[in-house]
Amino acid sequence: MELGEKIVAELKNNELFKEVELAKPGFINFFLSDVALQKTVATILDQKGDFGRGAKKNFKYNLELVSANPTGYLHIGHARNGVIGDSVGRIFKFNGYDVEVEYYTNDAGNQINVLACTMYYNYLKALGKEVEAPEEMYGGDIYGEVVMNFVNKYGEKFVGHTMSNNKISDPEVHEIFREESIQYFMVEIKKQLTDLGVNIEYFSSEKSMYDNHEIEKTLAEYEKLGKSYEKDGAL
């Protein structure tokens, strides 16, 4: 309590406090003065939207948000991730940090091959064809609209192919169903993010990183700088 009394005595000399009191077992209660409130309000009115903004800092952050597979629409979990991440990015920017917000599009994995086969299966079904379901496929009614895009655009042009090991037998047809399905869902995902007020500055593609050998180049650069090592057969 003795230390508390000293602190209270010091605070009472400050015009920012209207009243300061010591309470057992050692709490200090203080009440802001009208002067303090007036000064704060005046500062807010003067600085407007910049009130509380941090000074610019020499730190750059990459903030990855959502990055859902482009195999369907965003669900509530993706939305939560996006809203929380977007809020974190805005707070960091407001505090003076250089932040770039990125959506990493997972368009190179086997899940995209499954998507292509799912679309091809539903495409054939929409045309009234008898078709055996592929080993793996996505279920649900969400693929109806994009499948009709294929039907309206190509008609029966791609009828007659089979599916095995998550691949359509004709590589060119597989690539068409793969790429156009990704494009469709990425457009829809971007619309959903916009409706949520989530601002993504960069949309990067996993596939393009492989196609442009960016991963190999990055690993080579780390090795050149002596910033990587091998252990247990792994880099």
Q: Of 169, 187, 205, which residue sits at a domain end?
A: 187
Question: What's the mean pLDDT in 144-155?
Answer: 94
- Stated pTM of the model: 0.80
Q: How far apart are CA 19 and CA 217, in angstroms?
A: 64
Question: What's the mean pLDDT in 33-55?
Answer: 93
Q: How confident is the model at residue 144 (pLDDT cuts 50, 70, 90)?
A: confident
Q: How far apart are CA 43 and CA 32, in angstroms?
A: 16
Domain residues for the domain of 18 are 2-48
Question: What's the mean pLDDT in 52-73?
Answer: 94
Question: What's the mean pLDDT in 122-150?
Answer: 92
Cβ–Cβ under 8 Å, residues 188 and 68: no
| 167 three-state secondary structure | strand
pLDDT at 145 over 90: no
Count of domains for the chain: 2
Share of the chain above pLDDT 90, in %: 87
DSSP state of 104: E
Does residue 88 fall inside a structural domain? Answer: no
Strands 60-64 and 98-105: parallel
Q: How far apart are CA 235 and CA 232, in angstroms?
A: 8
Q: Which two tokens stand for residue 47?
A: 């600085």
Does residue 143 fall inside a structural domain? Answer: yes
Does residue 123 fall inside a structural domain? Answer: yes
pLDDT at 1 over 80: no
Does residue 25 fall inside a structural domain? Answer: yes
233 — alpha (psi -120 to 50), left (phi > 0) or beta?
A: left
Does residue 87 fall inside a structural domain? Answer: no
Does residue 196 fall inside a structural domain? Answer: no
pLDDT digits (tens, 9 = 90+) for 80-135: 999 999 999 999 999 999 999 999 999 998 999 999 999 999 999 999 999 999 99
Does residue 37 fall inside a structural domain? Answer: yes
Q: What is the DSSP string of 1-50?
A: -HHHHHHHHHHTTSTTEEEEEEETTTEEEEEE-HHHHHHHHHHHHHHGGG
pLDDT digits (tens, 9 = 90+) for 18-29: 999 999 888 999
Does residue 134 fall inside a structural domain? Answer: yes
